[in-house]
Every structure is written in structure tokens, then in C-alpha cells.
């Protein structure tokens, strides 16, 4: 795997105005990079801004501040012709396979949507391409004339993947592609994603909240808490040696499939609830639930620092 | 044990035979509508009424304008199937002639309201923000005007009581309901992930409207039409009843009922037939609308 950066996210902010003088900081000053050919996992609990972050990276949402560079180009400041090119290169797979396919279109039409925008093909070539994509995601060509409502959740998610692959992208944001599926299907979809990555040299931003699945698929993992990135490092390193107190508690919450070990191990339980992301006070966002909290934590928000090689943490515990 | 479970070897070609025939969205909706007996009866009644309004006036052998002073207020008989009115005119012919006017007003009124309302509602929803706010305030003002006042004003200003005037008066504020409906549906659709997916693929906005937004609104629009038609028929009947609608010798179901009402203790059949037609038509359209709503809702699929 190369170290070449495909996507660079620099001080990205996405705020939503939710009322008079109330600002929801969904993504608050996030900086990281996605390297060509890797899978970057992004984890965190519900409402911590993972999905917003993924969508802002793709330019579906406008950013409030900061930059997203794709191959060195700012995604949010592209001309319309550059935007078309970017949309051919970067795609998204959605969480809910029921909401992400138009119920009035056939599977063939859904997959062809991107082909029609970016390629000029003859009808026979177009059909051949749709069949080829269906085969790539493990389905046969008689699904082409079916409707989404005739398909199961796993099959629909495969169609979602085929639609994203149709424009031959090199970067795909997988926005919790497996969390709406049941466990046996989850493994199928993850294996399919891995297979496609090996075949086509794809780069993934894999958003999820299932830590063991993220460990399985990701090369590196970033942990988000309330809109901020608190830790990012290589996948094995993160699970072996989590540094941020929040990551530690997350890792300790993964169940171990051995009752004896499970019984003896110590879990780090978090006190309290996730604070509201609206009008957050200054300082570290985790301070109220952190057992290591110091005076400085309530005043200055920690910056993401490289504590060890390729291991970035935003915490005052590490200098 | 090894033989307990064996994979059934199914060739790919056989698989295609096993898979059930793929049906299009509209075919599927029609298939489900067909299983709804009430809706089918409603369609049958409506078809009969429409056919009768076309051929009815000429099959009884009496012109609807033909006055016969020796045959006034006759009961239904072999000669006059629905009887005659105070001027000796054949009620059978008049009911179907009146049905023409009522149907024309019902269908075109609903069509105009739907087209105008859908376009207005889509524009408001698609652009959103301030455009949406201003457009929806206009709708609220129009909806708050009592339509009777509008009708009286318009018939005074235009100095006519033709079908055109009545249609104009009825649809002037009539599209507002559909505009609200379509706007609501579009706002909801705009948030859907398949719209976001199309945007992420680089599909152009007008194509998103044509390929995604409008087809997904069509269901509720069709249902709204079927609920709107009886509304217009009833509004016309009401206007004719109070003397603001169709003028003699032209007639409509409402005008017929209005004329019969004065003597209805002595000649109840003169009121019965137009009232029956109004009732049947409204009931059928409402039941058909109900059936369509069930058939077109993807969530009710089996």
C-alpha cells in the first residue's frame, strides 16, 4: 500500500443552524488523510458526525469551513466540469438499502443512471455493462428488469454497490453499508467489498459503529467523538494499544467470544450521556465523561498530535 | 448423513423459468387494483355513467330541450323512462345531458387544478427557502377566501354564467390543496437517499425532477384527482342549485335537482334521478380513489 494521499481533509467544519443562535457542530475541525488503495475506518457512536463527515467530503453537503482535497483539488471550489469529473471518481454507498433505491425504477435503470451521465454507450454496450456490474456484485442478469421491492435487503445493498461502481470510481465512501443488514448478510457484503477492492484497487472510507467489523476491513481507523477526531492510527495498533480514554472504553466494550475471559476482563464504563452537540463549551468535548480529566481539559481543546509513529491522538494526557 | 442435504442442481436457464415474471410498477398497481372488488365496481359504474352521458340523450327519442305541454309532470313510464318535468321535457334525456356538463366540469376542473397545483408545488419545494415561504403564503391567502364570494365576483365581473366562467371560478383557488400536497411530498422525497445518490452520480437537476421526483409524486397526484372530481361535481351542483351555475335550457345535475326541489313532495322522481346520479358518481370516485391509494402505495405491496 502506498503512502500517496488520495483525499486530504484539512480543518473541515460543518455546522448546522438549528435555531436562533443555536449551532450544531456536526463536524468540528477534523483533519486527516485517506491514502490511495487503503480502507480507512471511521467509528464513533450515533450522532457523532461520521455520516455528515462522509457526505461533506463528497461535496453532497457544503462545508462551513476548511478544505477537502481530492487529488490536490478542493472539492468545494470546483468548476462544474471539474465537479462532473470528481463525481466520476468518488462515489457513495448508503446505509439504508430501502431508501437509497428509487422504488419506481428497475434495477437496470438504477445502475445505468451513472453510466448515462459519464459514458456515451450504445444500447447493447449499455446492457452488457449493466450485466457485467450485476455479475461483479454477485447477481445475475435477470435482475435487470426487476424492481427494488422484489429484492431483499442484502440484494438491494449489492445494487447500491453496483450503482456506485458503474462510474468506475477510485474512492468510495461506505456510509454504514452493513448496519441495516442482518449478521449473516453483513459478512457477505463486507467480503464483497474486500474482493472488489482487491480487483479494482478501490479506496474506501468505511463508516461504521461495529468495531470488530471495522477491525476486519480497515487498514487504519479513525475514532470520532461529538464531531471531533480523537484518535487515528493503524487498525492493529488501535486495538492493541488505544491511547485516548474514549477509544479505550470503546475497545473494552467489544465482547470476547470466550465466556471465561469475558467474565474476568475489566470493562471501562463511561459515566453519563453524550452531551448535546449544540453550543458545545470550550475545552475537550470528552471532559465530562473522562476519568483522567485534568484542569486544562475544561479550558483548552486538545489538538491532534502524532504521539507515536502514525498514531495521532487528541488528548492532553499525551505530550 | 451425507445424503441428507444435497444441493439441487438448477441450471441457470431453468432459474429464469422459475423466477416469476417481472412486472412493471404500473402493471403491478393495476394487478392489485383488480383484486379490489369495490374499486372495480366503482370503475364499472363510472364507465356506465360516462357512456350514458355520451349516448343517453339520443336514445330515448326525446330531445332534452323539447317542451311538450300535454305531457307535464309525468311519472316514469315506457314512453318517458324517468318521467317528465314541469315543462314536459323528458327527464331521462335531461339527466344524461346534465351529466355531460357535470362530468366535464368535474374532470377538467380536477385536471386544471392538478396541473397548476403540481407545477406550483414542485417549484416551491425544489427551490425551497424564501421562494417556498412566499409561494406558500400566497396559497394560504387564496385558500382562506370563501369560494362562493369568488364565484359571485367572477360571474359579475365577466358577466357570464358559462361553463368556462364556472371552471375559472372553481379552479382559481382549487389548485391550492394539490399544491400543498405535492410540495409536502417533494420535500420529503428531496431528503431521500436515492435523490442524494443521483446527485452524487452527477445527474442534472432537471433530470432528477423528471426521473425521480415526478414519478414518485404521480401516485398521490392520481389519487388527489380521483378525490377532487366529486368535489368539483358537487361544487357545480351546489352553484347551479343556488342559481349561479348553468342557465336554462342548458342543464346539469345540480340544476335539475334545484328545479325539482320546489315540487318534490308531489313529484319526488324528478329529484330522485339527478340526486341518484350525483350520489353514485361521487361515491364511485371516492371509492376508486381509495382503491387507487392502496394499489399505488409501495408499502402495501404483498
Query: pLDDT tens across B103-159, in order?
Result: 888 888 888 988 888 888 888 887 778 888 999 999 999 888 887 788 788 878 887
B227 pLDDT higher than 60: yes
Helix intervals (H) in chain B: 12-18, 25-34, 37-59, 91-127, 129-144, 147-158, 163-174, 176-190, 193-201, 205-208, 214-241, 253-261, 268-296
pTM of the full structure:
0.74
Assigned domain for B6 exists: no
Q: What is the mean pLDDT of chain A?
A: 86
- Given a cut of 70, whether residue B2 has pLDDT beyond it is no
How many inter-chain contacts (A to B, CB under 8 Å) are there? 76
Reply yes or no on whether the pLDDT at A2 is more than 60. Answer: no
Residue A27, helix vs strand vs coil:
strand
Does B16 map to a domain?
Answer: no
Contacts of A5 (CB under 8 A, 6+ apart): A33, A34, A35, A36
Please count the structural domains in chain B: 1
* Cβ–Cβ gap A102/B212 under 8 Å: yes
Tell whether B248 lies on the interface with A, counting CB pairs under 8 A: no
Q: Is residue B212 within 8 angstroms of chain A, CB to CB?
A: yes
Compute the mean pLDDT over every residue in chain B, rounded to the nearest whole number: 79
Question: Which band of pLDDT confidence, cut at 50, 70 and 90, is reported for residue B6?
Answer: low
User: Which of the four pLDDT bands, split at 50, 70 and 90, describes residue B1?
Assistant: very low
Question: Cβ–Cβ of B15/A140 closer than 8 Å?
Answer: yes
Cβ count within 10 A of residue A120: 8
Looking at residue B302, its pLDDT comes to 47
pLDDT interval class at A185 (50, 70, 90): confident
The three cell numbers locating residue A308: 507515536
Instruction: Tell me the residue range of the domain where B195 lies.
Output: 48-300
Residue B70 located in a structural domain? yes
CA gap A192, B44 in Å, rounded: 52
B226 Cα distance to chain centroid: 3
Q: Is the peptide bond before B249 cis (omega within 30 degrees of 0)?
A: yes
Judging contacts by C-beta atoms under 8 Å, the chain B residues touching residue A160 are 197
Q: Is A81 on the interface with B (CB under 8 A)?
A: no
Neighbours of A69 (CB within 10 A): 16
Q: How far apart are CA A252 and CA B190, in angstroms?
A: 40
Domain-by-domain residue ranges, chain A? 5-313
Q: What is the DSSP letter of A266?
A: P
The minimal CB distance from A113 to the residues B15, B201, B216 is found for B201
HSE toward the beta carbon, residue B92, CA cutoff 13 A: 20
B40 compared with B230, residue with greater pLDDT:
B40
Question: What gap in Å lies between CA A222 and CA A228, rounded to an integer?
Answer: 10
Q: Which of A87, A149, A150 sits opposite B200 (nearest CB)?
A: A87
pLDDT digits (tens, 9 = 90+) for A271-284: 777 777 777 777 88
Task: Tell me which chain B residues have a C-beta less than 8 angstroms from the C-beta of A87.
Answer: 200-202
Q: Do residues B92 and B82 touch, judged by C-beta distance below 8 A?
A: yes
Q: What is the pLDDT of residues A83-142, one digit of tens each?
A: 888 888 899 999 888 888 988 888 888 998 889 888 888 888 888 888 889 988 888 888
Decide if B210 is inside a domain: yes
pLDDT in tens, A32-74: 989 988 999 999 888 888 889 999 998 888 888 888 898 888 8
Is B3 within a domain? no
Give yes or no for B302 touching A (CB within 8 A): no
Could you tell me the CATH number of the domain that includes residue B278?
Answer: 1.10.3720.10
Cell of A316: 492532553
Residue with cell 476486519: A216
Residue B193 touches chain A, beta carbons under 8 Å:
yes
B201·A117 Cβ contact <8 A: yes
Phi, psi of B38 (to 5 degrees): -60, -45
Q: Which three cell numbers stand for residue A11?
A: 480543518
H-helix segments, A166-254 = 183-200, 211-217, 235-240, 245-252
The full DSSP string for B204-251 is -HHHHIIIIIHHHHHHHHHHHHHHHHHHHHHHHHHHHHTTSSPPTTS-
Task: Give per-residue pLDDT as tens, B167-216.
Answer: 888 888 788 888 998 899 888 888 888 888 888 888 888 888 878 887 78
Q: Note the CATH architecture for domain A5-313.
A: 3-Layer(aba) Sandwich (3.40)
Q: Is B37 on the interface with A (CB under 8 A)?
A: no
Amino acid at each position: 500500500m502506498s503512502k500517496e494521499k488520495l483525499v486530504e481533509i484539512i480543518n473541515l467544519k460543518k455546522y448546522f443552524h438549528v435555531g436562533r443562535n443555536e449551532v450544531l457542530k456536526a463536524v468540528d475541525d477534523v483533519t486527516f488523510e485517506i491514502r490511495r488503495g487503503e480502507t480507512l475506518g471511521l467509528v464513533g457512536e450515533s450522532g457523532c458526525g461520521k455520516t455528515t463527515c462522509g457526505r461533506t467530503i463528497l461535496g453532497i453537503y457544503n462545508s462551513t469551513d476548511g478544505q477537502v482535497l481530492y487529488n490536490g483539488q478542493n472539492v468545494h471550489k470546483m468548476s462544474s466540469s471539474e465537479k462532473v469529473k470528481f463525481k466520476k471518481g468518488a462515489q457513495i454507498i448508503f446505509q439504508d438499502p430501502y431508501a437509497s433505491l428509487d422504488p419506481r425504477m428497475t434495477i437496470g435503470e438504477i445502475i445505468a443512471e451513472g453510466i448515462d451521465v459519464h459514458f456515451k454507450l450504445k444500447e447493447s454496450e449499455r446492457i452488457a455493462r449493466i450485466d457485467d456490474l450485476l455479475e461483479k456484485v454477485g447477481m445475475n442478469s435477470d435482475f435487470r428488469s426487476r424492481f427494488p421491492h422484489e429484492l431483499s435487503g442484502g440484494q438491494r445493498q449489492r445494487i447500491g454497490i453496483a450503482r456506485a461502481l458503474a462510474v468506475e470510481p477510485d474512492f468510495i465512501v461506505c456510509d454504514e453499508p452493513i448496519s441495516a443488514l442482518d449478521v449473516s448478510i453483513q459478512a457477505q457484503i463486507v467480503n464483497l467489498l474486500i474482493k472488489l477492492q482487491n480487483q479494482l484497487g478501490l479506496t474506501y472510507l468505511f463508516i461504521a459503529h461495529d468495531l470488530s467489523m471495522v477491525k476486519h476491513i480497515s487498514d487504519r481507523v479513525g475514532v470520532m467523538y461529538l464531531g471531533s477526531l480523537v484518535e487515528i492510527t493503524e487498525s492493529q495498533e488501535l486495538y492493541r494499544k488505544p491511547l485516548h480514554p474514549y477509544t479505550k472504553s470503546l475497545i473494552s466494550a467489544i465482547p470476547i467470544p470466550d465466556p471465561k475471559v469475558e467474565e474476568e476482563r475489566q470493562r471501562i464504563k463511561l459515566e453519563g450521556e453524550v452531551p448535546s452537540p449544540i453550543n458545545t463549551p470550550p475545552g475537550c468535548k470528552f471532559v465530562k465523561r473522562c476519568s483522567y480529566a485534568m484542569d486544562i481539559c475544561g479550558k483548552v481543546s486538545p489538538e491532534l498530535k502524532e504521539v507515536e509513529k502514525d498514531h495521532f491522538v487528541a488528548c492532553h494526557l499525551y505530550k | 448423513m451425507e445424503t441428507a442435504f444435497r444441493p439441487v442442481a438448477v441450471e441457470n436457464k431453468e432459474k429464469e423459468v422459475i423466477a416469476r415474471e417481472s412486472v412493471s410498477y404500473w402493471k403491478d398497481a393495476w394487478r392489485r387494483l383488480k383484486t379490489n372488488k369495490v374499486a372495480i365496481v366503482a370503475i364499472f359504474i363510472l364507465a356506465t355513467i360516462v357512456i350514458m352521458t355520451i349516448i343517453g340523450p339520443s336514445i330515448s327519442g326525446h330531445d332534452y330541450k323539447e317542451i311538450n305541454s300535454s305531457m307535464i309532470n309525468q311519472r316514469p313510464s315506457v314512453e318517458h323512462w324517468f318521467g317528465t318535468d314541469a315543462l314536459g321535457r323528458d327527464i331521462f334525456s335531461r339527466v344524461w345531458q346534465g351529466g355531460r356538463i357535470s362530468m366535464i366540469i368535474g374532470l377538467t376542473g380536477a385536471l386544471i387544478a392538478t396541473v397548476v397545483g403540481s407545477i406550483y408545488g414542485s417549484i416551491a419545494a425544489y427551490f425551497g427557502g424564501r421562494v417556498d415561504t412566499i409561494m406558500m403564503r400566497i396559497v394560504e391567502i387564496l385558500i382562506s377566501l370563501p369560494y362562493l364570494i369568488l364565484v359571485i365576483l367572477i360571474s359579475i365581473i365577466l358577466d357570464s354564467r358559462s361553463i368556462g366562467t364556472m371552471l375559472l371560478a372553481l379552479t382559481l383557488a382549487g389548485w391550492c390543496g394539490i399544491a400543498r400536497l405535492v410540495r409536502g411530498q417533494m420535500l420529503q422525497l428531496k431528503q431521500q437517499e436515492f435523490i442524494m445518490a443521483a446527485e452524487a452520480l452527477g445527474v442534472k437537476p432537471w433530470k432528477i425532477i423528471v426521473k425521480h421526483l415526478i414519478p414518485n409524486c404521480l401516485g398521490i397526484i392520481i389519487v388527489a384527482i380521483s378525490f377532487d372530481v366529486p368535489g368539483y361535481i358537487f361544487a357545480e351542483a351546489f352553484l347551479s342549485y343556488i342559481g349561479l351555475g348553468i342557465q336554462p335550457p342548458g342543464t346539469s345535475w345540480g340544476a335539475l335537482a334545484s328545479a325539482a326541489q320546489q315540487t318534490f313532495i308531489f313529484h319526488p322522481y324528478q329529484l330522485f334521478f339527478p340526486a341518484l346520479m350525483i350520489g353514485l358518481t361521487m361515491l364511485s370516485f371516492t371509492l376508486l380513489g381509495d382503491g387507487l391509494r392502496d394499489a399505488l402505495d409501495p408499502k402495501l405491496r404483498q
